[in-house]
Amino acid sequence: MVHYRLDWQTYSLVAANDQLLHLYDERLSVVISTRGNVPAIVYWGSFLGHSPLQQNMFARAELGGGVDLDPPLGIIAQHHDGWLGNPGVEGCFPDGSGSFPHFVISTSSNTTSSANFTLSDADLDLDLQIGIEIHTSGVLTISGALTNRGSMPYLLHSQRFALPVPPRAQELLTIGGRWGMEFGEQRTPWVQSTLSVSNNRGRTSHEKWPVVFAGTTQFGEQHGEVWGCHVGWSGNFDITLDGVTEHHKHMLVGEKLTAGELVIRPNETYSAPTIYAVHSAHGLSSASQRFHQFVRSRLQHENTSRPVTLNTWEAVYFNHNFETLTKLADSAAHVGVERFVLDDGWFSGRRNDTAGLGDWTVDFSVWPNGLTPLINHVKSLGMEFGIWCEPEMVNPASDLYRQHPDWVLHSGTNTPITGRNQLVLDMSRSEVRNYLFDCISQLLDAHDISYVKWDHNRDLIASPAHSQTLGTYELLGRLKETHPQVQFESCASGGGRIDFGILPYVDRFWTSDSIDPLDRMLIQRGAQRLMPPEVLGTHIGSPVSHITRRSHSLAFRASTAFFGWLGIEWNLLEASDHERDRLASVIAQYKILRTLLHTGLTFREDHPDSNILVHGVSAHNQSESLISITRLANGSSSHIDPIHLHQFDEDAIFIIKPLHLGTPTYAPHRKLPQWIDDGSITMTGRHMSEIGVVCPPLLPASSFLIQIHKVML
């Protein structure tokens, strides 16, 4: 046991056993100083080797004009230690006392890849468990649990972890958007400034995603140093990027709590959302690959089935009838679909979005013989059957609401505000969760259903998000345990709930309600900063987008949807025979490439023309790769500068061929690059990096795909 004290006679932090802990793997080093009252990360970056480290490598000068020490940035920053930025723990007892906890290390343990600390405030009877670990994926995780050992309840306002970032990180990349245009990327200079990414919507949200990257000036896909952070939580969060306090650039990250929302009663514990962090010395793509590897490390990931899916929403909306849907299933099977999903409209009273939510029984006015005949028909065609539901919501026009209006998440006397004509059920109540568990379990027990699209179509307003989020996790966890054969998709008006918090409970995420391929190029690009493509639903929509009303070729729609978990969102009964034949060809090609697309390394390349996007997937041994080059809009020239690919072994030899998913949509030209007319070109990895691959001229809103095969000598 190591005891610490603050010696105010000498104004310095004194420890009975000063030490540094060096956690590492072959890619990452994390250096933790235990010199102060609480542990502090003093370095987080490239592997430092095995030579001994010393405290004086990290000790700064003590400046005049302030407190007579260099205030430490602890993992839990403390005002009592001289830190004058935001503290790591804020709260108080009901009488107002305890607003400045003063933790000290009481016990610690560590291995080469993990460290655990118990921090205690003996006066306030508060204990804080901190866990720091380098996961095998290269992702750094930080977890914490605050326990109240006293006799009075403790009102917790916030618990946030501090991650230092070196001064050379001069830019920030944040991600967000809106419904139908999620995961847009924004660059912001980061010098003497503070930026906050704060969410109050009760779900992960479309507008602000709990993912941020800091990097060196003009860091790109393959160059620059990058530090990334994600709050693994599906509720409210706060990320403060502070470049001002004590000239200590840092990320202060955690759950965002409203006043009075969280009370830690005697002998109870608050577990903070886990923080996930990555470092890359080689740009954004490498940072994302760390996150992807973490997701893929989940048990059974390699064995997960990811069938090509047809979802009925944009085909029929609420207009359900057996004849139409069986014909749609016939057409789906013909083109190679492997899972048929019945979306909104199957349950009691659900003829539009004003009624029915909460009454999770089959509407026999539409399905007089129940869902079994449709399911049997789908199964007879060799497809699986899936279904949509929105369990956390309720319509005022429903039997459930009429029977249990008190189950709605609402407080006070004000009239609750509806969203999409619906209210939110209080998921903190066990009776609500038990009701939903029984309804959904009965549905899954009575029918051969392999997949549930779990939606969440509105924000929370003036409602506690913490208990709501935990209640949803508990319900989903119980359903997954009871029905292990069923896959669940997280959908929240599209991409409104995509994060590592809900990741253990779902198999798939619906990336966006917009299937416009031009928008989807950017949406998927942002979403894949955190999530690997195979967990993101990417669908081929109808020729005219239902949201943007823009028209795009099948080749472009398909090439966009290829890089993910492929699906169809198109009324195939309105498609021509030629369109269905082309779609069948696309799906057949996708199935050939599915293993590569779902297990390979995803990467992106920078291009001097901002209208050109380059991304690809490469097998880990580089035996095969698929690259997409997309022109978003017209530029200053119809020429496209060569595509430089930096992922490949320099001295290896590769054969490059075009892959057409339909009729190529080249810009006006008299002659294509010679290698395209020849059908292939042979280049070394060094050639692809230094010379680049010559690209054909492309029309706006079109893609050019190339396959690359390594020559095995």
Instruction: Exactly one of 81, 238, 343, 455 is catalytic; name it.
Output: 455
- Under DSSP, is residue 433 helix (H, G, I), strand (E, B) or coil? helix
Can you give the pLDDT at residue 18? 60
Can you give the pLDDT at residue 2? 34
- Looking at every residue in the chain, the average pLDDT score rounds to 95
Spatial separation of the C-alpha atoms in residues 488 and 452, rounded to whole Å: 5
Spatial separation of the C-alpha atoms in residues 348 and 350, rounded to whole Å: 6
Common-topology check for domains 309-599 and 603-710 = no
Reported as type and span, the H/E element at residue 143 is: strand 140-148
Say how many C-beta atoms besides its own lie within 10 A of residue 673's C-beta: 16
pTM of the model: 0.96
Evaluate whether 343 touches 328 at the Cβ level (below 8 Å): no
Nearest-CA neighbor of 329 among 283, 275, 386? 386
Sign (positive or negative) of CA dihedral 672, 673, 678, 679: negative
Nearest-CA neighbor of 126 among 219, 38, 52? 38
Q: Per the structure block, which two tokens stand in for 101?
A: 């906890």
CATH of 4-296, one of 3.40.50.360, 2.70.98.60, 3.30.930.10, 3.40.228.10: 2.70.98.60
Tokens 């200079």 locate to: 189
Pairing of strands 393-394, 384-389: unpaired
Pairing of strands 154-164, 250-255: antiparallel
Domain boundaries, the chain: 4-296, 309-599, 603-710
Can you give the pLDDT at residue 194? 96
Check residue 365 and report its DSSP letter: T
Task: Note the helical H segments in 172-225.
Answer: none
Evaluate whether 653 touches 686 at the Cβ level (below 8 Å): no
Q: Quick one: how far is CA 423 from the chain centroid?
A: 26
Q: Which class for 247: exposed (0-12), middle (13-18), buried (19 or more C-beta within 10 A)? A: exposed
Give every residue of the chain whose pLDDT is below 50, as ranges: 1-17
Evaluate whether 614 touches 629 at the Cβ level (below 8 Å): yes
Identity at 184, one-letter amino acid code: G
pLDDT one-digit tens code per residue, 339-386: 999 999 999 999 999 999 999 999 999 999 999 999 999 999 999 999
pLDDT one-digit tens code per residue, 197-222: 999 999 999 999 999 999 999 999 99
**Per-residue H/E/C for 396-457:** CECHHHHHCHHHECCCCCCCCCCECCEEEECCCCHHHHHHHHHHHHHHHHHCCCCEEEECCC
Spatial separation of the C-alpha atoms in residues 20 and 650, rounded to whole Å: 39
- Got the DSSP string for 580-595? HHHHHHHHHHHHHHHH
Tokens 């390594």 locate to: 710
Q: In terms of residues, how long is the chain? A: 713
- b/e burial code for range 476-513 (CB count within 10 A of at least 16 → b): bebbbeebeebbbbbbbbbbbbbbbbbbebbbbbbbbb
Beta strands in 248-378 (DSSP E): 250-255, 262-264, 269-271, 275-280, 309-311, 339-342
- The count of C-alpha atoms lying within 13 angstroms of the C-alpha of 80, restricted to the half-sphere facing its C-beta, is 18
Phi–psi pair at 28, nearest 5 degrees: -135, 140
Evaluate whether 659 touches 707 at the Cβ level (below 8 Å): yes
The CATH superfamily label for domain 603-710 reads Golgi alpha-mannosidase II (2.60.40.1180)
The verdict on whether 513 is a catalytic residue reads: yes
Say how many C-beta atoms besides its own lie within 10 A of residue 216's C-beta: 18
Evaluate whether 73 touches 252 at the Cβ level (below 8 Å): no
The verdict on whether 127 is a catalytic residue reads: no
Spatial separation of the C-alpha atoms in residues 205 and 25, rounded to whole Å: 34
* Topology, domain 309-599: TIM Barrel (3.20.20)
Cα separations (Å) of 646 from 273, 614, 692? 36, 12, 9
Q: Per the structure block, which two tokens stand in for 161?
A: 């972890």
Can you give the pLDDT at residue 1? 33
Q: Quick one: how far is CA 221 from the chain centroid?
A: 19
Q: Helices H, strands E: what count in the chain? A: 12, 37
Q: Phi-psi region for residue 692, left (φ > 0), alpha (ψ -120 to 50) or beta? A: left
Rounded to 10 degrees, the C-alpha dihedral 276/279/285/288 comes to -10
Instruction: Exactly one of 127, 363, 513, 516 is catalytic; name it.
Output: 513
- The count of C-alpha atoms lying within 13 angstroms of the C-alpha of 349, restricted to the half-sphere facing its C-beta, is 15
